[in-house]
Amino acid sequence: MTFILETLLRLAAWLLAAPLLPGIINKVKAWIAGRRGPPVLQLYYDLARLWGKGVVMSTLASPGFIVGPAVAWVALVGAALIMPLGGAGGALSFRGDVLLLVYLLALARFCTAWAALETGSAFEGMGAAREVSYAVLSEVALITAVLSLSVQTGNVTLTDMLALSVGSGAVLLAAGLFAVLLAENCRVPFDDPNTHLELTMIHEAMILDHSGPPLAVILHGASLKLLLFAVLLSQVVLPLGRLSPLAAAGALVGTVLGVTVAIGLVESLTARFAFRRVPLLLTAAFLLCLFALLLARKGGVG
């Protein structure tokens, strides 16, 4: 009974907190640019409005156009439930759960790309092609980060892998994972969520034809993914296992906010890369994770 209650509480926390992050990023961007910007809660308003709207569906689209976003959202929620939160651990924790997390993200990608290709639009094909191709490199970086964590801690359970800081490799891992975060969540310099030129989009190009509740589900899922990566990044750096539960929770929230502000700063201060350079940056992220792995192999358990 307590397990169900705890899981529901955890679920509510993830679902409700996630749409806050894009709001904060936009606020930071507006602040740097000297604008007032949209309210922090803008995404909540957008989601509420989209949820009540009707849907325009392409004449070519099959039921997969609706099913895809729903399954992708469930996969992301599942990944969020596995992710440990400080001392509280994950809702489900077992040896090798970290791989389930990585592959749930992949399932979400499969469904989003599939739904995008339902429409037969060249732009959405372009977006889906970019998404699945660049994901190859970011997945390699992510797997290398996982390897480095498991070599460092001698463990393959997410809770134990993230309990302690990874020591000297933490900076390298954090830098690598931050780049992966930016790429996987389609932020500048990989992709510009605010662009209006379809030819240069990745994620936004995939959802051009979505509207109404399915679009709300996609947007909410995207914010959930952002929060997931921010939480992962924070726990890789912070030795939360050594803190008291309250302090750990405070530190986690603080770091996630810090990461969010950092994303806003990156978006304000850098321009989007040309597509040719995206693989280079992702390869650099992979190399950072690889060096962290080599350091972990060299160093002792700590």
Q: Does 297 bind another protein (CB under 8 A)?
A: yes
- Structural tokens at position 279: 């693989």
Q: Which is nearer to another protein, 75 or 252 (CB)?
A: 75
Q: Does 89 bind another protein (CB under 8 A)?
A: no
Q: How far apart are CA 23 and CA 26, in angstroms?
A: 5
Return the residue of 121, 159, 165, 235 that touches another protein, per CB under 8 A. 121
Q: Which is nearer to another protein, 31 or 103 (CB)?
A: 103
How near is the Cβ of 130 to another protein at its closest, in Å?
7
Exposed/middle/buried for 49, CB within 10 Å: 0-12, 13-18, 19+?
exposed
Exposed/middle/buried for 19, CB within 10 Å: 0-12, 13-18, 19+?
buried
C-alpha dihedral, 84 to 219 to 23 to 9, nearest 10° = -40
Residues in 213-252 that interact with another protein by CB under 8 A = 213-214, 217
- Structural tokens at position 36: 């007032």
Return the residue of 150, 159, 223, 255 that touches another protein, per CB under 8 A. 150
Q: Does 25 bind another protein (CB under 8 A)?
A: no
The residue count for the chain: 302
Q: Does 113 bind another protein (CB under 8 A)?
A: yes
How near is the Cβ of 297 to another protein at its closest, in Å?
7
Residues in 38-67 that interact with another protein by CB under 8 A = 51-60, 62-64, 66-67
- Structural tokens at position 38: 């949209």
Collapsing DSSP to helix, strand or coil, 179 comes out as helix
Return the CA Rg of the chain: 19
Return the residue of 14, 114, 178, 190 that touches another protein, per CB under 8 A. 114
Q: Does 287 bind another protein (CB under 8 A)?
A: no
Return the residue of 14, 18, 83, 139 that touches another protein, per CB under 8 A. 139
